[in-house]
C-alpha cells in the first residue's frame, strides 16, 4: 500500500510503524513511487537508491516484528545532497569530474541518520561542488521548483529542498556554506536549518570552504527539523572542527514559547536595495505574530554585514581553490584522453571536468591567494569577517534572536540570472553573514508572494539552536500556513 508522504511527518511514520498501522517497507515503496511519478518534472535526484531503501526498511520491519524499541527516524524516507558520501552510491557533487566516483565510506551525518533508522531513497542534485544559488550549475541539468516548474528551487542544495517540498522524501540533508540550505528552504517552502559551525561533523562531505561549510536538515515542520538535529549533532573524532558541546533535546524544549524573548529586526539589512517589498512585508508580518505571542521586538543594526558579500566571495573561492586542487585527473575523478605530459593531463582533465562556475571560483580563489595579493584580498576579507563576528556579539547582548528575510526575492525563473553572476550572488545577501560568523540560523516559511514561498530568517547565538527552534516552532504553530506545493495535486499524485 502506498501513502502520501507529503502529509506524513517523521514522528507519525515512526509511531505508525510501531503501532502496526503500516510498515517501513510501505514507506519506502511510497517514496519510490512518488519519485517515479514526479522526478521527470522536478529532477531532484542524481541517483535513486531503491535497493538501499528497501534493505534499510526491511531492517526496521524486523525490529518492529520483534517488538524491539524503534530508533527515532525508523522507516523515515530521507535523501542526501550528492556531496555526501554513502557507500553503495556515487558521490558526484553534480560534476563531470566526479561523475563515476563511488563512495568507499559513509559521511558521519549520513551514517547517524541511517543508524537512527532512516531509509535512504537517493542522492540529490546540487550546484556543481555547491557553487551556486539556483541548482542550475549542475552538470546533469537544473532542478525545478515544485511550486512552479519554470522556476529554480534555490541552491546549492536545491535537489534536497525540492525532494522534501514535493514529498519525495520526508527529510533531507544539505550543506550550507553561504546560505545553501536556508535559501532553497525559503524558495521551496520548507524548514531549513544551518547549525552552529562545529555542531555537525563535516567528515565525509566533499569540501567547498572548510571554515564555512556546515550540514543541516530540510523538513516540512520545525518539529522534524529538531528531531533530525538531535540525531546528527555531536562530536566526531573524524572531524577536528566538530565541537563536544552538550545540546538540549530540541524536540522537548521547542514548545516552551517565546514569552519575554527579545527579537531584533536587523534594520540595515531589511532596508537593502533589491529586497522585494512584499518579501519585506511578509517578514514584518511574521515579526508581528511573534510580538503577539509575547516576544519583545526591537531593531538593531549590523553595519559590518553590509560587507559580508565581498568578504565571502574572497574567502569562499580561496578555500575552494585549495580544496579542489586534488581533482587533477591523477588522484581523483575524470582523466582526459590523449594528454602529452603530466601538465597537459592536469589542464585538460580540469578543463573538461569542471563547469563554468567552478572554473570562475577556482580562478578567483587562486588569484586572491597568490603572491602579492594575499594581504590585499584574503587578509582583508578575514578582517571583515572579524568585524562581522563582533557585530553579532554586540547585537546578541540585547537580543536573543535576530530577524531578516531569508532571500530578498521569491524563486526566480530558470535562466533569469544565469548570465549575471553578481545578481545571482545577491540571492545570499542575508544568509552569508551567518556563515562568516559561524552562528546558527533557520529559515521557516512565512507566507506567499505571487503564489511562491517566502522564508523568515531567524539567527541565534553560537550553540543556541534551542532558542531558534522555540521561536520557529511558536511562529509555525501560530501562523498555521499550508505550505504544500500545487505540483502533487496537479499531477494527480
Give the catalytic positions in this structure: 81, 156, 180
* CA angle centred on 187, ends 381 and 422, rounded to 5°: 35
106-126: b or e for each residue (b if 16 or more CB lie within 10 Å)?
Answer: bbbbbbbbbebbbbbbbbbbb
CA distance 370 to 326: 18
Bridge-based pairing of strands 401-405 and 262-266 is: parallel
Q: How far lies 453's CA from each of 151, 445, 473, in Å?
A: 12, 7, 18
Dihedral of alpha carbons 203, 219, 181, 87, sign:
positive
**Cα–chain center distance at 235:** 20
Q: Residues 144, 145, 150, 154: what is their CA dihedral angle, to the nearest 10 degrees?
A: -90
Residue 338, burial from CB neighbour count under 10 angstroms (0-12, 13-18, 19+): exposed
Q: Which residue has the cell 552569508?
A: 432
Angle between helices 222-232 and 465-479 (to 10 degrees): 160
CA distance 383 to 381: 5
Report whether 57 contacts 76 (CB < 8 A).
no
DSSP SS3 for 63: helix
**Continuous H helices in 293-439:** 308-323, 342-353, 356-369, 380-398, 421-425, 432-437
Report the Cα–Cα distance between both ends of the chain, in Å, rounded: 14
Angle between helices 277-292 and 465-479 (to 10 degrees): 100
CA distance 434 to 183: 12
DSSP SS3 for 47: strand
CA-wise closest residue to 176 among 97, 274, 90, 81: 81
What are φ and ψ of residue 392, in 5° steps?
Answer: -65, -45
Helix or strand run (H / E) with residue 477: helix 465-479
A 10 A CB-CB count for 492 gives: 6
Amino acid at each position: 500500500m502506498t501513502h502520501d508522504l507529503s502529509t506524513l511527518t517523521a514522528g507519525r511514520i515512526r509511531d505508525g510503524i510501531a503501532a502496526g498501522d503500516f510498515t517501513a517497507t510501505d514507506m519506502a515503496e511510497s517514496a519510490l513511487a512518488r519519485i517515479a511519478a514526479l522526478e521527470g518534472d522536478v529532477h531532484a535526484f542524481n541517483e535513486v537508491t531503491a535497493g538501499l531503501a528497501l534493505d534499510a526498511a526491511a531492517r526496521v520491519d524486523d525490529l518492529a516484528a520483534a517488538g524491539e524499541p524503534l530508533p527515532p527516524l525508523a522507516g523515515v524516507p530521507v535523501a542526501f545532497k550528492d556531496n555526501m558520501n554513502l557507500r553503495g552510491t556515487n558521490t558526484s557533487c553534480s560534476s563531470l569530474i566526479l561523475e563515476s566516483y563511488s563512495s568507499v565510506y559513509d559521511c558521519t551525518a549520513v551514517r547517524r541518520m541511517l543508524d537512527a533508522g532512516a531509509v535512504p531513497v537517493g542522492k540529490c542534485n546540487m550546484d556543481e561542488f555547491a557553487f551556486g544559488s539556483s541548482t542550475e550549475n549542475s552538470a546533469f541539468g537544473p532542478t525545478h521548483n515544485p511550486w512552479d516548474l519554470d522556476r529554480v528551487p534555490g541552491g546549492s542544495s536545491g535537489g534536497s529542498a525540492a525532494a522534501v517540498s514535493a514529498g519525495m522524501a520526508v527529510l533531507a540533508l544539505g550543506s550550507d556554506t553561504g546560505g545553501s540550505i536556508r535559501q532553497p528552504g525559503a524558495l521551496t517552502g520548507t524548514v531549513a536549518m544551518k547549525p552552529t559551525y562545529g555542531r555537525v561533523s563535516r567528515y565525509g562531505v566533499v569540501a567547498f570552504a572548510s571554515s564555512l561549510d556546515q550540514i543541516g536538515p530540510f523538513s516540512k515542520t520545525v518539529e522534524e527539523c529538531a528531531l533530525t538535529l538531535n540525531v546528527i549533532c555531536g562530536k566526531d573524532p573524524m572531524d577536528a572542527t566538530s565541537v563536544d558541546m552538550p545540546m538540549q533535546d530540541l524536540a522537548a524544549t521547542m514548545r516552551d514559547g517565546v514569552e519575554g524573548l527579545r527579537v531584533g529586526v536587523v534594520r540595515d539589512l531589511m532596508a537593502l536595495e533589491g529586497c522585494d517589498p512584499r518579501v519585506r512585508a511578509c517578514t514584518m508580518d511574521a515579526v508581528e505574530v511573534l510580538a503577539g505571542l509575547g516576544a519583545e521586538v526591537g531593531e538593531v543594526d549590523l553595519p559590518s554585514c553590509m560587507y559580508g558579500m565581498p568578504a565571502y566571495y574572497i574567502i569562499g573561492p580561496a578555500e575552494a581553490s585549495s580544496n579542489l586542487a586534488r581533482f587533477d585527473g591523477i588522484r581523483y575523478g575524470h582523466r582526459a584522453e590523449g594528454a602529452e605530459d603530466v601538465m597537459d593531463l592536469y589542464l585538460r582533465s580540469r578543463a573538461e571536468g569542471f563547469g563554468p562556475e567552478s572554473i570562475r571560483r577556482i580562478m578567483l580563489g587562486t588569484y586572491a591567494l597568490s603572491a602579492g595579493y594575499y594581504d590585499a584580498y584574503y587578509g582583508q576579507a578575514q578582517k571583515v569577517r572579524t568585524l562581522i563576528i563582533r557585530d553579532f556579539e554586540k547585537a546578541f547582548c540585547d537580543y536573543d534572536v535576530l530577524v531578516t528575510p531569508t532571500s530578498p526575492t521569491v524563486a526566480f525563473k530558470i535562466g533569469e540570472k544565469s548570465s549575471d553572476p553578481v545578481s545571482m550572488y545577491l540571492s545570499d545577501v542575508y544568509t552569508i553573514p551567518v556563515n562568516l560568523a559561524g552562528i546558527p540560523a533557520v529559515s521557516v516559511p512565512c507566507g506567499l508572494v505571487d503564489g511562491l514561498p517566502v522564508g523568515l530568517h531567524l539567527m541565534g547565538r553560537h550553540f543556541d539552536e534551542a532558542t531558534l527552534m522555540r521561536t520557529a516552532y511558536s511562529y509555525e504553530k501560530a501562523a498555521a500556513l499550508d505550505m504544500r506545493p500545487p505540483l502533487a495535486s496537479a499531477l494527480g499524485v
